[in-house]
Amino acid sequence: MTGATAAATIDRAAADVGIQAWVHARRLGPDLDEVTRGGDELVPMASLYKLPLAACWSDLVADGALDATERLRVTATQRAPGPTGLAALLDDVEVSQRDAVRLMLSLSDNAAAEQVLDLVGLDRLSAWLTTHGLNRTIVRRGSRDSWSVVVEETGGGDVGEAPRRLANTDVDVQTSEYNALLASATTAADMVTVLGRLWEAEHHAMVRDSLRLQAWRHRIGSGFPHDDVGVYGKTGTLGRLRHEAAVIEFPHEHPVAVAVLTKSARPETHQPRVDAAIGAIARAAVTVLRRPL
Amino acid sequence: MDLLRHLRFFDAVAEHRHFGHAAAALGMTQPPVSQGVQRLEQELGQRLFFRDARGVRLTEAGGALLPVARRLLRDAEQLMTLAHRWRPSGQVRLGLADDLEDKIPALLTRLAERDVDCVPTVSGTVELVEGVREDELDIAVVRHPAVVDGLAAGPVHTLATYLAWDDDRPRDAELPPMREVPPVVVPPRRHHPAAHDQLIDALRRLGHSGAVIEAGTLIERQAWASAGHGVRLVLDDESGRPIPDLPPLRVRVVTPLPPDRRADVDHETLIRRLEAALS
């Protein structure tokens, strides 16, 4: 397969399930080799902000500005709501900073992510993005505030209602969280750059390991159903947005970083066909970049 | 001989300097391309290419004729584009999703009554959306959900659907439970993949197997149903029977964004009239 046929496969797979897809892949090796399909276009990023956030946190720890083992008390009344991890628990808990990062990456835990964002701060994160050449990426708010925006724009009330409102099949429900100029936003190429940074430096080992532990294998992972192939990924989901950025490691080959950002025509929360298409798209992009070490 | 077709071969071989690559670029195999070039050479009475160990090279005659051949190809393309886009001023090119089926005549009558002069195109949603994007349609009623980025899209209309057996079953006969209902006969999935999948998920939710028969035309869908091998989803409660929670047909009006619209069509009024005809 060549780059051109990969692009055609990506377009076909996207059209076949009714999504827009923005794709970028790069081999993390000595020679620059990339596949891109709208990889430079700005897309609202949903939970993908947790990826640069983890990288920034990891650099701050390496610099001695933060203590990875410091214990954080996360109280039941104050933490961000969410479907997984600390966000889904009932009682007060205490975790270390690095375990909060682990939960944020492996389960997309919103409560843990809120703790990490508080530690790092939006200002330090913005400065980190600029320093590392991620000029298109802008993190305006964390998941908790994103959902507050959605709640407010879709009729107020309980945050638990908001995902159901976005999933209304009879109305085209809009939110500024779908607008790259108003929401936190990135490009597929920028997400690949973040992964490249994480794979460059030894001190990011804990972050890489947490990505390997990600609980979901339904998106990019579905394109690589091989027990000996490493999939180090982070998903991002909000309404019609379904994203994942991942590094794929075939044994004895250079790792390949790939980001697949999508927006579906269908509004429903569960869309296995789209998740599988993201896997097929990632496979098409990664396959042309595979090279032995 | 088809001169334009053979000129296309000439152009491709001149560009790729290789018969195999030229054939691949044309989406063909090599033999018809080689034969086509030979026939063109006979017709023109000139040798166009040298073939030797170093590959394929243009002859002096080939080099002199190539620019003219390319001009002809460009002109032919322009002719097709112009012919495709030309229309009497003020006449609206309206696209209608073929799922609207029996509703289409009444919809067009209502538009005519409101003095909308339109030429209809009945097709699948993907094609209609492409038509609006490519300036081949001024407005279209398409299935929702569909990828309509870059276009102006109106509110979603939900049209109630009914289940129709086109056989001689008495109207008051009791309906079987959904799990015993035969496959539903629908337009092809490629017309609107997202909306199609959404329907299948809804059928499964109701207890139906989700099996569908994809048939390209209304008459074909009716034929399947008449043969007793399928049921149809219809928009009128005359021929169909209501089923609780049967998903509605969701449609919406799409047009180009205001800056991309034709100047001789009053889109605002047109949209208002079409929306009214749909509700």
Q: Which residues are paired to B252 by β-bridges? A: B142
Q: Does B201 touch chain A (CB under 8 A)?
A: yes
Measured between CA atoms, the residue of chain A closest to residue B154 is: A172
- Quote the CA–CA distance of A279 and A223 in Å, as a whole number: 4
Q: Return the ∠ at Cα B134 (arms to B133 and B135), rounded to 5°.
A: 95
- Do residues B132 and B185 both lie within one domain? no
DSSP, res B78: H
Chain B neighbors of A266, CB-CB under 8 A = 145, 194, 197-198
- Quote the CA–CA distance of A4 and A35 in Å, as a whole number: 9
Q: What is the pLDDT of residue A160?
A: 84
Tens-digit pLDDT profile for residues B109-119: 999 998 889 99
- Quote the CA–CA distance of A81 and A184 in Å, as a whole number: 19
For the record, the structure tokens of B18 come out as: 């290789």
Which amino acid makes up residue A194? V
For the record, the structure tokens of B72 come out as: 């002809």
- Do residues B99 and B174 both lie within one domain? no
* Residue A109, in any domain of the structure: no
The CATH number of whichever domain residue B68 belongs to comes to: 1.10.10.10
Which structural domain range is residue A23 located in? 3-73+121-287
For the record, the structure tokens of A174 come out as: 């809009």
Give me the residue from A16, A169, A171 closest to B193, CB to CB.
A16
Q: Does B274 touch chain A (CB under 8 A)?
A: no
Closest CA of chain B from A143, distance in Å: 25
Which structural domain range is residue B239 located in? 161-246
Q: Are A25 and A10 in contact (CB under 8 A)?
A: no
Give me the residue from A18, A171, A172 closest to B194, CB to CB.
A18
Chain-centre distance for alpha carbon A125:
16
Give me the residue from B145, B155, B250 closest to A18, CB to CB.
B145
Tens-digit pLDDT profile for residues B163-177: 988 767 777 778 888
- Quote the CA–CA distance of A114 and A109 in Å, as a whole number: 9
Chain B neighbors of A169, CB-CB under 8 A = 145, 198, 247, 250
Measured between CA atoms, the residue of chain A closest to residue B148 is: A265
Q: What is the pLDDT of residue A100?
A: 98
Size of interface A-B (CB pairs under 8 A): 51
Chain B neighbors of A264, CB-CB under 8 A = 145, 194
Q: Report the SS3 class of residue B242.
A: coil
Mark which of B85, B118, B148 sits at the end of a domain. Answer: B85
- Quote the CA–CA distance of A164 and A149 in Å, as a whole number: 15
Tens-digit pLDDT profile for residues A81-97: 888 999 999 999 999 99
Q: Does position B94 have pLDDT exceeding 80, yes or no?
A: yes
Q: What is the pLDDT of residue A1?
A: 58
Measured between CA atoms, the residue of chain A closest to residue B158 is: A170
Q: Does B147 touch chain A (CB under 8 A)?
A: yes
Rg of chain A in Å (alpha carbons): 18
Profile chain A (293 residues) by mean pLDDT over runs of 10 residues: 82 97 95 93 97 98 98 92 91 97 96 97 97 96 93 87 93 96 97 97 97 96 97 97 98 98 97 98 97 94
The CATH number of whichever domain residue B223 belongs to comes to: 3.40.190
Closest CA of chain A from B274, distance in Å: 18
The CATH number of whichever domain residue A166 belongs to comes to: 3.40.710.10
- Do residues B173 and B151 both lie within one domain? no
Q: Are A187 and A176 in contact (CB under 8 A)?
A: no
Residue contact B197–A273, C-beta within 8 A: yes
- Quote the CA–CA distance of A36 and A23 in Å, as a whole number: 6
Supply φ then ψ for residue B259, to 5 degrees. -65, -20
Determine if the peptide bond prior to B145 is cis (ω within 30°).
yes
Chain B neighbors of A20, CB-CB under 8 A = 147, 149
Supply φ then ψ for residue A240, to 5 degrees. -85, -5
Interface with A, mutate which of B157, B198, B204 (most A CBs under 10 A): B198
Q: Which residue has the tokens 């197997």?
A: B209
Residue contact A172–B252, C-beta within 8 A: yes
- Do residues B35 and B73 both lie within one domain? yes
Residue contact A267–B145, C-beta within 8 A: yes
**Half-sphere exposure (Cβ direction) of A237: Cα atoms closer than 13 Å:** 22
| pLDDT classification of B279: cutoffs 50, 70, 90 | confident
For the record, the structure tokens of B148 come out as: 């309509």
Q: Are B219 and B102 in contact (CB under 8 A)?
A: no
The CATH number of whichever domain residue B257 belongs to comes to: 3.40.190.10
Give me the residue from B147, B201, B250 closest to A19, CB to CB.
B147
Interface with B, mutate which of A2, A170, A261 (most B CBs under 10 A): A170
Residue contact B250–A169, C-beta within 8 A: yes
Give me the residue from B149, B158, B201 closest to A170, CB to CB.
B158
Mark which of B61, B85, B109 sits at the end of a domain. Answer: B85
Residue contact A264–B194, C-beta within 8 A: yes
Give me the residue from B147, B153, B201 closest to A18, CB to CB.
B147
Q: In chain B, how many domains are there?
A: 3
- The span from the first CA to the last CA of chain B, in angstroms, equals 54
Closest CA of chain B from A16, distance in Å: 6
- Do residues B17 and B132 both lie within one domain? no
Chain B neighbors of A18, CB-CB under 8 A = 145-147, 192-195, 197
Tens-digit pLDDT profile for residues B9-68: 999 999 999 998 999 989 888 999 999 999 999 999 999 999 877 789 999 999 999 999
Residue contact B156–A172, C-beta within 8 A: yes
Q: Does B153 touch chain A (CB under 8 A)?
A: yes
Other beta carbons within 10 angstroms of residue B45's beta carbon come to 7
Closest CA of chain B from A18, distance in Å: 5
Q: Does B193 touch chain A (CB under 8 A)?
A: yes
- Do residues B80 and B108 both lie within one domain? no
Q: Does B143 touch chain A (CB under 8 A)?
A: no
Interface with A, mutate which of B125, B127, B129, B147 (most A CBs under 10 A): B147
Mean pLDDT of B88-95: 86
For the record, the structure tokens of A24 come out as: 């970028």
Burial class (CB in 10 A: 0-12, 13-18, 19+), B249: buried
Q: Are A146 and A177 in contact (CB under 8 A)?
A: yes
Mark which of B59, B85, B111 sits at the end of a domain. Answer: B85
Q: In chain A, how many domains are there?
A: 1
Q: Does position B181 have pLDDT exceeding 80, yes or no?
A: yes
Tens-digit pLDDT profile for residues A168-193: 999 999 999 999 999 999 999 999 99
- Quote the CA–CA distance of A249 and A254 in Å, as a whole number: 7
